Homo-oligomer: A and B are copies of this chain.
């Protein structure tokens, strides 16, 4: 029987074996007192299993309130726990309720964080995953061999559709590959969604007709379900190629529905993530989180950026990028390929489409990015399979937006050449302007 396994970082005042057993019980067949139907046979078949315990350090004060230690110390440990797939079937929300759910409330733990999740290959038979992913996003934008350069419409809120479209015109002229709405901008009275799509796509389509380059614009359709479906159709009919969804605000069921439609690349914004992740021993780590959204079918997912304006360390950002680039089912290349071929034959896609999807997801680097961070981003991750977003870093460039976009591309050339900041500026003197305007140690 296939099993799902989850790795946790935990902290407990109890002997770890006892705490682990209570975790497994609470999330499978247990209640606080034995009940009649809880037979040995049932437990054998459905009980969660503690697979591995690795003791870590002890601490003298609990990370979270609500539990008491007789010894005054709290033991940290890594736990691996597994469940039969039979417990939840192929049901993402119930997977979440099982792997996470009530666990965070147990007084047996003074800290609990879901670090990673391993799913058996059978999941690849039940979920399509990202329709576009890295290869599909590249195909839609015509960008190969370097990161896609993108930006966010700023100010985040307040521009009319006409003002937004004007800005899009400037950015398209500047050579941008990708533009997105801010997560604050969805369908407000001063920029109704349909009007914005019409105004923006008129500019993008005209630019594409003239130059052959179609800028990808991720319209933020985060909303209730009906308006999301309506707005999705609007984007498709206007010739758009992408939509953005605020993953945490919309939730798994809504996001999956949008991804399933399959006509647009889905840009997954993770705003709200800090609530789920910032505490070191509470919540969920990105390697587990991104797997859920890849299963749901998100094509592009935010990972923050090196030298960001947020709290997150560069190490953590680099780990997030790496997790996106790992295959979701590493042991099932054969399965995956046959699944893709099946999809291809069903959908009538050309053979090029077999390179699209396959649970690949494009990491979206953003937050206070201006180009200079490309060097460290590449040094740490050795990839150009990124969507690299700069807001102020483009629009506030001293020589204007076009110079901003050019400088971002140049920074990435320097990065891929392995140059240091000094070497980059020496080789490409035009980088000095952005360095002087935005630069700080990265």
Q: Which A residues lie at the B interface, using CB under 8 A?
A: 27-38, 42-43, 45-46, 64-67, 86-89, 91-94, 96-98, 100-107, 154-159, 163, 167, 183-184, 186-190, 220, 222-228, 246, 248-257, 269, 271-276, 278-280, 282-284, 304, 309-313, 368, 391-393, 395-396, 438
Across-interface contacts of A46 in B (CB, < 8 A):
155, 157-158
Cα A279 to Cα B31 with chains together (Å): 25
Q: Are A101 and B42 CB-contacts (below 8 A) given A31-B392, A67-B311?
A: no
Complex interface: chain B residues within 8 A of A271 (CB): 97, 100-102
Which residues does chain B contribute within 8 Å of A220, judged by CB atoms? 94
State the CA gap A33–B280 with chains docked (Å). 30
A11 to chain B, nearest CB (A): 12
**Shortest beta-carbon distance from A398 to chain B in Å:** 11
In the bound complex, residues from chain B placing their C-beta under 8 Å from that of A278 are: 64-66, 104-105, 282
Closest 3 pairs (CB-CB, A-B):
A251-B251, A66-B311, A104-B274
Q: How far apart are A246's CB and chain B's nearest CB, in angstroms?
A: 5
Given the complex, which residues of B lie within 8 Å of A101, measured CB to CB?
183-184, 246, 249, 271-272
Let me know if B280 and A282 touch, CB within 8 A.
no
Q: Which of B67, B91, B309 has a CB less than 8 Å from the CB of A223?
A: B91
Complex: A96 Cα to B92 Cα, angstroms: 22
What B residues does A391 contact at CB under 8 A?
31-32, 35
Q: List 10 A-B contacts (CB under 8 A).
A: A31-B155, A35-B154, A37-B154, A43-B158, A86-B188, A223-B253, A224-B252, A224-B257, A250-B253, A251-B252
**Known interface pairs A188-B89, A396-B35. Does A64 touch B251 (Cβ–Cβ under 8 Å)?**
no
Partner of A159, one of B37, B89, B225, B227: B37
Q: How far is the CB of A332 from chain B (nearest CB, A)?
A: 21
Copies of the chain in the assembly: 2
A188 to B97, CA, bound (A): 14
**A394 closest partner in B (C-beta):** B35
- Centre residue among A97, A102, A107 by max chain B CB count within 10 A: A97
* CA of A310 to CA of B223, assembled, Å: 33
Chain B's nearest CB lies how many Å from the CB of A281?
A: 10
Determine how close the nearest CB of chain B comes to the CB of A41; give it in whole angstroms.
Answer: 9
A93 and B392 in contact, given A67-B311, A103-B274 (Cβ under 8 angstroms) = no
Other 4 A-B pairs with CB < 8 A, given A37-B159, A65-B280: A37-B155, A88-B186, A92-B224, A101-B184
A254 to B105, CA, bound (A): 24
Q: Are B249 and A252 in contact (CB under 8 A)?
A: yes
Chain B residues whose CB sits within 8 angstroms of the CB of A284 once the complex forms: 275
Contacts of A310 in B (CB 8 A): 66, 102, 105-107
Q: Chain B's nearest CB lies how many Å from the CB of A331?
A: 23
Q: How far is the CB of A213 from chain B (nearest CB, A)?
A: 24
Contacts of A248 in B (CB 8 A): 96, 251
Q: Is B89 in contact with A29, judged by CB distance below 8 angstroms?
A: no
Least CB distance from A215 to B in Å reads 18
Q: A105-B312, A107-B311 are in contact. Are A282 and B272 (CB under 8 A)?
A: no
B contact residues around A98 at 8 Å (CB): 184
A293 to chain B, nearest CB (A): 12
Q: Once the chains are docked, how many angstroms separate the CA of A175 from the CA of B214?
A: 66
In the complex, how many angstroms separate the beta carbon of A62 from the nearest chain B beta carbon? Answer: 10
Which chain B residue has the least Cβ–Cβ distance from A100?
Answer: B272
Q: Closest chain B residue to A114 by CB distance?
A: B275
How distant is A3 from chain B, measured CB to nearest CB, in Å?
A: 14
Contact A100 B275 (CB under 8 A): yes
